[in-house]
Amino acid sequence: MTKNLVPALLLAFCASVALGQSEALGLSKEGKTFLAALQRAGWSGHSSANGTDVTVRAAPLFSAGMLNAVRNRPALTSRQKRALDDVARIVLPEAGWFIETLVPAGKYHVGLEFKGRNPRVVLFDAKGKRRFAQAFWINETTDKNAGGGVTASGGAATVTIAAGGISLGYRFVAKARHDAMTTALKTTTHGNVRIHSDLQAPRKLAGLARVAATT
């Protein structure tokens, strides 16, 4: 019984490897369906707050087909690649911080790619220059069309791309507001630890920095 089990397990393993290679090297039916839908998709409509604006392709951006398409990007046509590079459009009213990246005011478009083991969102400026890229993870997929939204809070705007309970959010803070906030901060240093805070409690901050440096 054991002698027959080993070849069976080996055969199953080889089949699973072949399946994985096939998925990585070629578009699946789902991938082709997604790309076709993406290329003919209209826009979800504009959402704005504090001058920040977003509109998203009304396509299943978090589907299994999307994952297959971005994995196989090198094999796609130029038209298909252009579609993947323009799944959303964002307008930023002034220079500011998009997550941790300082970007000028202007019009941007959002693309999808695959690097390492995960898909990534890429922000391109109007000239096609890459300004920002960040990986994301989804535990499940959805065939529902995506939409966009912008919410404002505390002088910042959060740009959201969402579909079927899956949501990606990116925070934008205008440089002028960011600078006004950071200039009011004082720095407390202990060893390699630096704490930037406007809290008027130097002893507490020094103690916190000291604990952080020794743990």
Collapsing DSSP to helix, strand or coil, 103 comes out as strand
- Please list the rounded mean pLDDT of every run of 10 residues in the chain (215 residues): 39 35 67 97 94 97 97 95 98 94 96 94 96 93 96 91 96 82 74 79 83 83
State the Cα–Cα distance between residues 206 and 127, nearest whole angstrom.
46
State the Cα–Cα distance between residues 152 and 7, nearest whole angstrom.
60
Neighbours of 169 (CB within 10 A): 12
Q: What is the pTM of this model?
A: 0.74
Contact of 105 with 92, CB cutoff 8 Å: yes
For the chain, first and last CA: distance in Å? Answer: 55
110 sits in which H/E element: strand 106-115
For residue 170, list its beta bridge partners.
Answer: 159
- Token pair recorded at residue 100: 């941790």
For residue 123, list its beta bridge partners.
Answer: 110, 132
Collapsing DSSP to helix, strand or coil, 193 comes out as strand
Nearest to 145 by CA among 52, 11, 28, 55: 55
At 69, which amino acid appears?
A
pLDDT of 91: 97
Contact of 59 with 145, CB cutoff 8 Å: yes
pLDDT of 214: 84
Owner of token pair 């300004």: 131
pLDDT of 213: 84
State the Cα–Cα distance between residues 152 and 156, nearest whole angstrom.
6
State the Cα–Cα distance between residues 111 and 83, nearest whole angstrom.
8
State the Cα–Cα distance between residues 119 and 136, nearest whole angstrom.
6
pLDDT of 205: 79
